[in-house]
Structure 1
């Protein structure tokens, strides 16, 4: 077992040494470890993020290598880390390869919907997901990495121009697996995967959604949830590449 003393953490942080999770891990949005930010499945790589904060306290600042996502990990989870067995190599999938894998990513999301689940802020591993966690995990099962949060995913994908003046006009240009973004004029706060025929699959919260994974529509607005999200549509984008970490670019 690694002796994760302050000196080891200092050196690992400075040298950018990567570690591998040997079991699922939770990462939080602050050193208080109260609010979940994201989760890491076994096999994902992490690095210590900063030196000063790493030397004291019950929480450690980490960054996930595959998507550059930061978070705080409890010191009690250090036993779940081992030195990475190999350097992380970003996916080099072509556009044709990505398009060929999208139906399998959608199949994963549908299978996740079929399991008992509820909305979990910060959930990326299942059975409970938040919106962008479901999208990221579904695509990552096919070797396609996307950034973690909805607004990051919106900035990463190739923007699809709406040919009309109403959100439902997107149906004329959307393709299977495109991402639909919702939120305010300033920022995307929600994301879904397009299924065709005006339908999309997403994990939505309790207040305005389904408290879990469900299918809603851009055009059939009989359901209250579809109405709620229709009013928040910002636009859509197409996944044309897989994310490459900044540390490797």
Structure 2
């Protein structure tokens, strides 16, 4: 894309980074396109990113988040909220036994988020308002465990398990034509998720894996697609 003189000025004001990476000093919104019309995700303070200077307009620049490899658009007005990083982000290997020890903390995070006033926010990744996969990513992240950003990516990342094998902390995936929703299994056929306004509760709530619940629970029960277990922390394969 064409880099206009105003964009060059904005980048010139950003301190150079010896590592090629920056980190966020405050929560930032990232968008699906250079129009800024639709939220894609949000970055919490401390997250690392790279500027993709080949994709830039007069108002937005494309960036890649280092922890999950997610690519989205950042407003040039938010460049002042970035700090140059002396070191590149280092992914940590986390084993399944380590993950198991953190399941209570992960579940506690989702329940604490549910206890706060909240609503479903497409692209929401910073509390109090989340989308379904943003809540899952944020919950695991508190323990240093990374998941891919979107529900369909999370479904391909986890190890598939059967309903009979489900354990608290496993993920439940829902689909129409493809996976488009995810929840955290709590045990005893209950799960917690952030569901939307049109076909959900417009907030974080606990529902049951049963056709005997209310209309919303039944709707999601009919959409159940698969179950998965997080075996490791996600490390994106980026050239």
Confirm or deny a common fold (TM above 0.5). yes
Provide structure 2 residue ranges, at least 5 long, that are not aligned to the other structure. 1-6
Kindly indicate whether the alpha-carbon contact (under 8 Å) linking 2:23 and 2:82 is maintained by their aligned counterparts in 1.
Answer: yes
| In 2, Cα distance between equivalents of 1:140 and 1:177 | 13
Q: Are 1:42 and 2:45 counterparts? A: yes
Give the counterpart of 1:199 among 190, 209, 215: 190
Q: Aligned pair in 2 of structure 1 residues 70, 210: CA closer, same or farther (>3 Å)? A: same
Residue 128 (structure 2) aligns with = 127
Deviation digits for residues 27-48 of structure 1 (CA, Å, limit 9, x no counterpart):
0000000100000001001111
**C-alpha distance in 2 between matches for 1:40 and 1:189:** 21
Contact 1:16 1:47 in 2 (8 A): no
CA contact (8 A) 2:207 2:217 kept: yes
Q: Which residue of 2 aligns with 1:141?
A: 142
Q: In structure 2, how many angstroms separate the alpha carbons of the residues matched to 1:6 and 1:216?
A: 47
- Which of the residues 195, 214, 229 maps onto 2:205? 214
Q: CA deviation at 1:222?
A: 2.1
Q: Which residue of 1 aligns with 2:69?
A: 68
Given that 1:90 and 1:245 are in contact with CA atoms closer than 8 Å, whether structure 2 keeps it comes out as no
Provide the C-alpha distance between the structure 1 equivalents of 2:89 and 2:81, rounded to a whole number of angstroms: 18
Per the alignment, residue 234 of structure 1 pairs with 225
- 1:1-249 paired onto structure 2 within 5 Å: 5=9, 17-51=20-54, 53-54=55-56, 56-160=57-161, 162=162, 170=163, 172-184=164-176, 186-219=177-210, 221-247=212-238
1:246 is paired with a residue of what secondary structure? Answer: coil
Give the count of matched residue pairs: 231
- Runs of 4+ with >3 A deviation: 3-9
